[in-house]
């Protein structure tokens, strides 16, 4: 179901047939064509050549070895893991450790070998493994991955864990069905996790990505299967440019993994990211805070009393954000900064409080 109100479009998902509708829209619209051009541009960059296709039959173990060495020779990062994930995927497993030794020692069929060569060649162009196998795990979900939609990072799993723990321990004033708002949803990983883990939660997503249909397709395939249609709404809007007073209200939890990289860091990104992922999902401006500031400014209008904001930010940000919020957003009160397990990014919580008059 597609609704329109002036310049704003939003989507709900009444039934599974929407998935087919989206698939068609994705392939037919100019946005789909834009995306296909993007993918084509990425794939047809000058690449290293693949190793010779084996004349006879080879085993999975031999294929692993051939490709690992080839990745090493061509400077592809994580050579061993890349070949392992790709070949495990082709053998129907998630990790190579899950494949039986016997299966690894068996000869691959001709089709299987061709598949190995086809997928591993994509990896040669530095396409991330997640885009090569077109899926990846996020907590207990397996999500579809397509370039250039941002690939969920493991640190964000901790962000979701934090939100879930809080929702379970502190359900909030009178909320029996808390509503969450995710800003900049990407593949929808955060929201889908929340929806799956907490049956009582409702989620609204907003995202600016040009090809809404791709993202909807990625989300839709998943949650239609789980029957989550009536608990999810998607808004296609630019949080920075568009301000819609009264659009969202009584939100219990605002969660986001906004673009937070410093512009100067964009130049040193590895090819897996710079060539294949959407820059708009990464670049946070000169100090990395452009989108974060906007979210924090608008948040008090969205949140219910005691509503909470959860953000993943750069390790250099917490003090800056605290100061900025104290100076500029009266209604928000800082609660906590937590470092993720690898110590490389940070999860921050702020809480909305009403002014007493």
Partner 1 sequence: MSSLLPFTSSLLGASRRLMWKNTPGLSPLLRLTPPAPSWVAAFGKKDLPDLPVLLEEELEEQFVRGSGPGGQATNKTSNCVVLKHIPTGIVVKCHQTRSVDINRKRARDIMREKLDVAYKGELSELVVKKKESVLRKQEKRKRVNENLERKRLFNEALAVDNKPGDDNA
The C-alpha torsion from 63 through 64 and 67 to 68, rounded to 10°, is -160
**Chain centre to alpha carbon of residue 122:** 21
Which of residues 138, 209, 223, 235 is near partner 1 by CB under 8 A? 138
Helices and strands, number each (H, E), in the chain: 13, 11
67 contacts partner 1 (rule: CB under 8 A)? no
**Chain centre to alpha carbon of residue 218:** 10
Nearer to partner 1, 22 or 309 (CB): 309
Residues in 283-342 at the binding interface with partner 1, rule: CB under 8 A? 312, 314, 340-342
Query: In angstroms, what is the minimal distance from the CB of 186 to partner 1?
Result: 11
User: Do residues 282 and 261 lie in contact, with contact meaning Cβ atoms separated by under 8 Å?
Assistant: yes
- What distance in Å separates the CA atoms of residue 187 and residue 211, rounded to the nearest whole number? 12
- What distance in Å separates the CA atoms of residue 193 and residue 289, rounded to the nearest whole number? 26
Nearer to partner 1, 151 or 303 (CB): 151
E strands, 208-345, in order:
232-236, 251-256, 303-313, 332-339
252 contacts partner 1 (rule: CB under 8 A)? no
282 contacts partner 1 (rule: CB under 8 A)? yes
How many residues make contact with partner 1 (CB under 8 A)?
44
Spatial CB neighbours of 27, under 8 Å, sequence gap ≥ 6: none
265 contacts partner 1 (rule: CB under 8 A)? yes
Query: In angstroms, what is the minimal distance from the CB of 75 to partner 1?
Result: 16
85 contacts partner 1 (rule: CB under 8 A)? yes
User: Do residues 272 and 282 lie in contact, with contact meaning Cβ atoms separated by under 8 Å?
Assistant: no
Hunting for tokens 């723990």 — which residue is that? 165
92 contacts partner 1 (rule: CB under 8 A)? no
Residue 290: count of CB within 10 angstroms of its CB: 17
157 contacts partner 1 (rule: CB under 8 A)? yes
83 contacts partner 1 (rule: CB under 8 A)? no
Dihedral over Cα of 285, 291, 296, 297: its sign: positive
Residues in 185-244 at the binding interface with partner 1, rule: CB under 8 A? none
**Chain centre to alpha carbon of residue 241:** 22
The SS3 assignment for 207 reads strand
Query: In angstroms, what is the minimal distance from the CB of 76 to partner 1?
Result: 12
Which of residues 112, 158, 278, 350 is near partner 1 by CB under 8 A? 158
112 contacts partner 1 (rule: CB under 8 A)? no
Which of residues 17, 97, 245, 267 is near partner 1 by CB under 8 A? 97
- What distance in Å separates the CA atoms of residue 214 and residue 27, rounded to the nearest whole number? 9
Dihedral over Cα of 208, 209, 211, 215: its sign: negative
350 contacts partner 1 (rule: CB under 8 A)? no
Which of residues 83, 257, 304, 337 is near partner 1 by CB under 8 A? 257
Which of residues 343, 355, 356, 357 is near partner 1 by CB under 8 A? 343
77-85, 171-179, 198-206, 221-229 -> range binding partner 1 (CB under 8 A): 77-85
Contact set with partner 1 (CB under 8 A) = 78, 81-82, 85, 94-95, 97-98, 128-130, 136-140, 150-151, 153-155, 157-158, 161, 257, 259-261, 265, 269-270, 272-273, 277, 281-282, 312, 314, 340-345
């Amino acid at each position: 179901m597609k609704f329109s109100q002036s310049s704003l479009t939003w989507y709900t998902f009444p039934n599974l047939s929407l998935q087919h509708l989206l698939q068609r829209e994705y392939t037919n619209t100019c946005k789909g064509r834009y995306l296909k051009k993007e993918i084509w541009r990425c794939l047809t960059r000058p690449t290293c050549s693949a190793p010779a296709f084996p004349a006879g039959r080879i085993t999975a173990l031999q294929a692993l070895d051939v490709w690992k060495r080839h990745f090493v020779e061509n400077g592809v990062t994580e050579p061993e893991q890349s070949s392992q994930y790709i070949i495990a995927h082709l053998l129907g497993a998630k990790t190579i450790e899950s494949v039986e030794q016997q299966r690894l020692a068996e000869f691959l069929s001709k089709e299987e070998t061709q598949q190995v060569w086809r997928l591993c060649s994509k990896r040669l162009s530095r396409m991330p493994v997640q885009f090569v196998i077109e899926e990846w795990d996020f907590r207990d979900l397996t999500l579809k991955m397509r370039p250039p939609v941002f690939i969920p990072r493991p640190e964000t799993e901790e962000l979701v864990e934090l939100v879930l723990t809080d929702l379970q321990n502190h359900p909030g004033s009178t909320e029996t069905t808390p509503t969450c708002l995710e800003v900049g949803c990407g593949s929808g990983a955060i929201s889908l996790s929340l929806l799956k883990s907490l049956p009582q939660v409702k989620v609204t997503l907003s995202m600016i990505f040009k090809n809404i249909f791709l993202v909807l397709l990625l989300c839709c395939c998943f949650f239609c299967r789980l029957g989550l249609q009536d608990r999810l709404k998607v808004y296609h809007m630019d949080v920075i440019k568009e301000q819609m007073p009264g659009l969202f209200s009584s939100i219990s939890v605002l969660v986001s993994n906004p673009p937070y990289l410093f512009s100067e860091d964009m130049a040193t990104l590895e090819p897996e990211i710079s060539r294949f992922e959407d820059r708009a999902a990464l670049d946070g401006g000169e100090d990395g805070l452009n989108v974060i500031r906007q979210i924090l400014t608008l948040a008090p209008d969205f949140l219910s009393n005691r509503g909470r904001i959860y953000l993943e930010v750069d390790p250099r940000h917490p003090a800056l954000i605290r100061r900025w919020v104290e100076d500029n957003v009266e209604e928000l009160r800082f609660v906590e900064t937590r470092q993720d397990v690898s110590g490389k990014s940070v999860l921050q919580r702020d809480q909305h409080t009403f002014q007493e008059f």
